[in-house]
Structures are given as structure tokens and as C-alpha cells.
Amino acid sequence: MNTLFDKIWDAHVVSLIPDGPTQLYIDRLYCHEVTSPQAFDGLRARGIKCFRPEKIFCMPDHNTPTHDQDKPIEDPVSKRQVDSLERNAKEFGLNYFGMMHPKNGIIHVVGPERGLSLPGMTIVCGDSHTSTHGAVGAVAFGIGTSEVEMVLASQCILQQKPKSMRITVDGKLGKGVTAKDLALYLMMKLTTSGATGYFVEYAGEAVRSLSMEGRLTLSNLSIEMGARGGFIAPDQVTFDYLKGREYAPKGEEWDKAVEYWKTLKSGDDAVFDKELHFDAADIAPMITYGTNPGMGMPIDGAIPVPQCKALDYMGFTSGQSLIGHKIDYVFLGACTNGRIEDFRAFASLVKGHKKAPGVTAWLVPGSWMVDAQIREEGLDKVLEEAGFEIRQPGCSACLAMNDDKIPAGKYSVSTSNRNFEGRQGPGSRTLLASPLTAATAAITGEVTDPRKFL
């Protein structure tokens, strides 16, 4: 019997090229400002329009400042990128949510929360973390600029079919262990290339127990294991999350959709190209110590690799514990951990405490919808009382493409997805962790095991 990946992929095949790629129909294209300008220029040069403009949604996120969004962007490069996306979206008649628009935010946060990303869909965007949308039971993956142009022009793409992998995590996650820790654990085990060439289906009790926000975090980080994408079969958690969302089906259409979505699962006898099994009991709160997301360890562990270039860059030594290591910056946000549940977790831990002196904390909602939820739930008051302020939505300090950059030599505990050299700013040193671990660092000023505060 087919895997879920086979079912969705095969349902979208338009044609097969002998000894070549598949022509695959795409249900949803997301466009942001970084990878789309050349694609639109390509359409212009050939004098063609977008084939199905209603299937395409555009919004700036990478270059948007997280303050004073009602004023013109000061950085000329960022301004040019954002302005050109708006111009292109208007010229080609596409859905566009600009800065300050209530539907604006990080595209990988907005898609699921608005019900634009639905089970059984094929979803692409010129961004590697498009795998995030796999959490709803979609086949979602990042594409290059020339492929963005292909989808704009034809709503199809030429793709080689990836191999399939199932990662099953049995048992229950322990105290203080989040979806982010689960993902960092899998990267530690598989390394950043362990899933190269595969599309990963996550399964098992620990995965099923995750909320939709947790599933989005796990799917988001699939790409950091080298996978083409990652996803989770839809279930009642998925349906409850999507029901009533703006672009989700309504009424009878909803009932019909759910009946179909319930069929979206791998058969009991489905054969995967690779199967891996892990025990949730083995997973602790995690933190990275190096310069790729696979260089992680339990927060109470010791750096397990010999001295190397990555440790020299980070200013760490082999065998060192990071507990008690001084922190300069804390970043809560990104398409990895910028959702309402992440802010709830952070606020629950800092409540009754104060931000540590000398720590700069950037708390950045993933969208204006998340910002509104924070205020509706009174989390803004909890955070303000603890000495934190909430910034405006955007990718922020996940990557050095806007004003929020970590200075050279400074240490940042970050809930984002990558810790490459200079990713958060030239010379910056990034320790990836969960919102709970970020919160403990923010109130203690150093790397601290979050379980001490739970």
C-alpha cells in the first residue's frame, strides 16, 4: 500500500517525463520579497501572466523591520525588496498582505493560521522552511527562483520524486521537553545530512501528542536534517485547529473536506525507503553548541565533539558544559517558534521574574494575528511586568536581513532555526533552543536548565 506521501504526490501528477522529472500541480504558491523579483522579471520578459493568480499569496517578512512599520523602511536594500514585491503583486493581480496589514506576518506562520495551508495540498515557496506547512498534512517544500517563475506561469513545477522516510517517536515527552527539543534531538542523531533526498513522515505517540504549533515547529526543522520536507498525517488535532479559519472550507464543504482528509494516512502495510525509531524518554531539553543545527546536546550535557573550527568560532572548548554560560541576547520568534503557544510558554516561565540586567531580549510575534492573541490573553502585561517588550511581526533576528542583528562576539539564545556563522549578524554566536530555555536564559542571564523553573 502507498505511503501518505505517495498518495498526495500521485494525486498531483500532471505528466511524467520518461527518465526525467514529474510535472507536478501546485495548489498554493507563497511569495515573499527575497526570491521572487527575478521570477516576475522572467514573466515580464516573456510577456506572460500568472496562470492562476488566486492560488498565489504574497507578503514581505524577511526584510521588514520589527519597529515603526508605519514609517518608510530606512535600509535602502530592504525597502527596494519590499516595494518591488508590492509592485509585482499588484501588476500580476495577486493576493498581497503588506506591512501593517492585519494578515501580514512571516509567511510560514500566516499560511496555517489563516487556513490557507490545508491537508492534501502541494505547497511551495522560494524558501527552504516551506516544510513548515507539512504539519497540516500537506506536501510542502522550498523551491528556487527559476521554479517560482515556473509556478507563477503554469501552476506546475518539474520535480524529481524524493524517497520516503518515516521517523517514529514512541512514548511521552518529559517535563520541559518541547517540539523544538524533539527536532534538535533528531538533528543531533541524524546530523544535518541524515535525511538528504528524503521526504519525512513523522509518526508515533510523541508526535501525535503535539499541538498544531508543535507540529509546525517540528516540520519547519525537517530541512535542517537535509530532508526535502517533512509532514504529519492529519488527525483530529489538525481538524480542530483548521475549523473556522478564514480560508478553510465552510459548512457542507468543510464536512466533505474532513471526510477526504481522514483518508490521508499511510497504510498499515506502507513501505518506506527508510524507517527510524526513537524513544521520547531519551529526549531532554536541548541546546546547540556549534555552527550547524545538528551540533546539539542535552542542556545538562557536555560538548561531545573534539576541538574544531566551529567550537573556536563559538568560543567553546570540547567537554565544556554550557550551564551558567553568560548570554547577551535572547530571541523569541521566527517561523520556528513565533506562534501564540511559544509566547504562552515564554510568558508562563518569566511570570513573577524580571529580565536579567545586561540581556537584550527581542520578542517578535510571527504575525499580526499572534500579536492580537498575545494582547487578548493578557500575555503582553505578564511580559511587560517582567521587563520585556513585544516587537512588530517579521523574521527579525532569525537572519541578518533586517535591523535586528546580534553584534559580533555576542551570545544569543535563539528560538530560530539556524546557527550558521554570521546567520544572526556578522560574528554573532547563536545557541538554538526552545522558548522555555530562551525564557530561562532571559531571566537568569545565562544558559539554564528550564526544568529548574517548571
Beta strands in 204-323 (DSSP E): 229-231, 274-279, 286-288, 296-298
Residue with grid cell 498544531, as numbered in its chain: 212
The confidence band for 1, taking pLDDT boundaries of 50, 70 and 90, is confident
Q: Angle between the 76-91 and 37-46 helix axes, to the nearest 10 degrees? A: 40
- Is 90 exceeded by the pLDDT of residue 308? yes
- Is 90 exceeded by the pLDDT of residue 96? yes
State the burial class of residue 199 (Cβ atoms within 10 Å of its Cβ: 0-12, 13-18, 19+): buried
- Is 90 exceeded by the pLDDT of residue 227? yes
State the burial class of residue 239 (Cβ atoms within 10 Å of its Cβ: 0-12, 13-18, 19+): middle
pLDDT one-digit tens code per residue, 187-199: 999 999 999 999 9
The verdict on 254 and 297 lying in the same domain is no
User: How many C-beta neighbours within 10 Å does residue 58 have?
Assistant: 22
Average pLDDT over residues 1-25: 95
Which domain-ending residue is among 245, 261, 283? 283
Provide the domain count of the chain: 2
The confidence band for 312, taking pLDDT boundaries of 50, 70 and 90, is very high
Which domain-ending residue is among 233, 262, 283? 283
Give phi and psi for 385, each to the nearest 5.
-65, -30
Average pLDDT over residues 287-293: 98
pTM of the model: 0.98
The verdict on 123 and 4 lying in the same domain is yes
Average pLDDT over residues 311-333: 98
The verdict on 42 and 67 lying in the same domain is yes
Do residues 285 and 451 touch, judged by C-beta distance below 8 A? yes
- Is 80 exceeded by the pLDDT of residue 261? yes
Average pLDDT over residues 427-434: 98
Report how far Cα 75 is from the mean position of its chain's Cα atoms.
25
- pLDDT in the model for residue 97: 98
Torsion angle defined by CA atoms of residues 221, 213, 437 and 298, in that order, rounded to the nearest 10 degrees = -50
- pLDDT in the model for residue 284: 98
pLDDT one-digit tens code per residue, 198-226: 999 999 999 999 999 999 999 999 999 99
The verdict on 299 and 200 lying in the same domain is no
- Which triple of cell numbers denotes residue 20? 526525467
The verdict on 187 and 305 lying in the same domain is no
The verdict on 213 and 73 lying in the same domain is yes
Inter-CA distances, 7 with 10, 178, 266, Å: 5, 30, 8
The verdict on 242 and 336 lying in the same domain is no
DSSP-derived pairing of the beta strands 13-16 and 22-25: antiparallel
The verdict on 254 and 357 lying in the same domain is no
- Which triple of cell numbers denotes residue 181? 527539543
Helices and strands (H, E) in the chain, number of each type: 16, 18
Domain extent for 190 = 1-283
The verdict on 275 and 298 lying in the same domain is no
- pLDDT in the model for residue 203: 98
The verdict on 275 and 290 lying in the same domain is no
Residues with Cβ within 8 Å of residue 15, at least 6 apart in sequence: 22, 23
pLDDT one-digit tens code per residue, 329-373: 999 999 999 999 999 999 999 999 999 999 999 999 999 999 999
Q: What percent of the chain is predicted at pLDDT more than 90?
A: 99
- pLDDT in the model for residue 359: 98
Which domain-ending residue is among 250, 283, 316? 283
DSSP-derived letter for residue 321 is B
Tell me what the pLDDT averaged over the chain comes to.
97
Q: Looking at residue 75, which CATH number applies to its domain?
A: 3.30.499.10
